[in-house]
């Protein structure tokens, strides 16, 4: 059985050793890996080198959100380390995203650059508290269109919004969707969740899965169950 390379495993571990222990059980032909804020803050670029050395493509999920010059420089630094994908917050606005995209283009760096729309841990009431009224899907759409127009190759959104974004932003626009929860897994702090096969059917181009695998009692069995669901088994 082959897993579509659309699967991205979130290596949310507190140490390089723990992350590499998991990576050594995974196959670069069957998944990509995501390095987030906890692991990168603890281990720094060494983790990227170690994962690249094992043949993995890496999504560096640092969600940059700052003034345009700072974000463009940070995105360039990530891309120069050979990561497959890097991201910024769409809430940083058009000039910030354009600066980042232009910087990668000027340096001829092929790293995918995408923007986070609305975190999958947020629901309507959370948005309202930060001054955004209305449904999450409307804010996701607004930010996705802005991201596309600002030169982003895709967005992070929940799978619940993926179908609408395929219509609005086109097939080629990446929809990277965390908040993936197989039937056997707890939601944890995620709010806008979807099951793996449903997410692919809805138009997700890449599924991000963390705790349902990494915190499972039997991580490989959990991963295989997800692979089987994706393969229609």
Ligand X SMILES: O=c1ccn([C@@H]2O[C@H](COP(=O)(O)O)[C@@H](O)[C@H]2O)c(=O)[nH]1
The answer to the question of whether 139 is labelled as a binding residue is no
Interface residue with ligand X, options 13, 35, 36, 169 (CB under 6 A):
36
- DSSP assignment of 68-83, as one string? HHHHHHHHHHHHHTT-
Instruction: Determine the Cα angle at 208 with ends 158 and 177, to 5°.
Output: 20
Closest to 46 (Cα-Cα) out of 32, 28, 58: 58
119 touches ligand X (CB under 6 A) = yes
Is 63 an annotated catalytic residue?
yes
Residue 40 DSSP code: H
Instruction: Check 30, 52, 63, 142 and give the catalytic one.
Output: 63
211 touches ligand X (CB under 6 A) = yes
The answer to the question of whether 181 is labelled as a binding residue is yes
First to last CA, the chain: 9
Quote the tokens at residue 64.
């940059």
58 touches ligand X (CB under 6 A) = no
Which residue's CB is nearer to ligand X, number 60 or number 156? 156
Instruction: Assign 209 to helix, strand or coil.
Output: strand
The answer to the question of whether 63 is labelled as a binding residue is yes
Closest to 210 (Cα-Cα) out of 54, 88, 32: 32
Which residue's CB is nearer to ligand X, number 43 or number 190? 190
The answer to the question of whether 143 is labelled as a binding residue is no
CA dist 118 and 144 (Å) reads 10
107 touches ligand X (CB under 6 A) = no
The answer to the question of whether 56 is labelled as a binding residue is no
Name 34's bridge partners. Answer: 10, 59
Q: Which residue is nearest to ligand X (CB)?
A: 210
CB of 107 to ligand X, least distance (A): 26
Interface residue with ligand X, options 115, 210, 225, 227 (CB under 6 A):
210
Closest to 7 (Cα-Cα) out of 29, 23, 24: 29
- Give residues with Cβ within 8 angstroms of 198, minimum separation 6: 159
15 touches ligand X (CB under 6 A) = no
Interface residue with ligand X, options 68, 178, 182, 203 (CB under 6 A):
178
Q: Which stretch binds ligand X (CB under 6 A): 50-58, 64-72, 96-104, 207-215?
A: 207-215
Instruction: Write out the residues near ligand X by the rule CB under 6 A.
Output: 10, 12, 36, 116, 119-120, 156, 178-179, 188, 190, 208-212
Q: Which positions are annotated as active-site residues?
A: 63
């Amino acid at each position: 059985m082959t897993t579509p390379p659309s699967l991205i495993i979130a290596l949310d571990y507190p140490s390089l050793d723990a992350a590499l222990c998991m990576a050594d059980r995974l196959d670069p032909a069957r998944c990509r890996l995501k390095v987030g804020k906890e692991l990168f803050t603890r281990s720094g670029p060494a983790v990227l080198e170690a994962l690249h050395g094992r043949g993995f493509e890496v999504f560096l999920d640092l969600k940059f959100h700052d003034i345009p010059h700072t974000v463009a420089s940070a995105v360039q630094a990530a891309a120069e380390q050979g990561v497959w994908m890097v991201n910024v917050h769409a809430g940083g606005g058009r000039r910030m995203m354009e600066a980042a995209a232009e910087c990668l283009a000027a340096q001829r760096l092929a790293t995918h650059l995408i923007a986070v729309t609305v975190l999958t841990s947020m629901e309507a009431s959370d948005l309202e508290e930060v001054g955004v009224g209305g449904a999450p899907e409307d804010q996701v759409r607004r930010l996705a269109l802005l991201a596309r127009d600002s030169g982003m190759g895709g967005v992070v959104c929940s799978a619940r919004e993926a179908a609408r974004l395929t219509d609005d932003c086109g097939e080629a626009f990446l929809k990277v969707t965390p908040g993936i929860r197989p039937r056997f897994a707890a939601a944890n702090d995620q709010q806008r969740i979807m099951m793996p096969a449903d997410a692919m059917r809805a138009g997700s181009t890449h599924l991000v899965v963390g705790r349902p695998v990494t915190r499972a009692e039997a991580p490989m069995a959990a991963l295989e169950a997800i692979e089987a669901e994706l393969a229609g088994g």
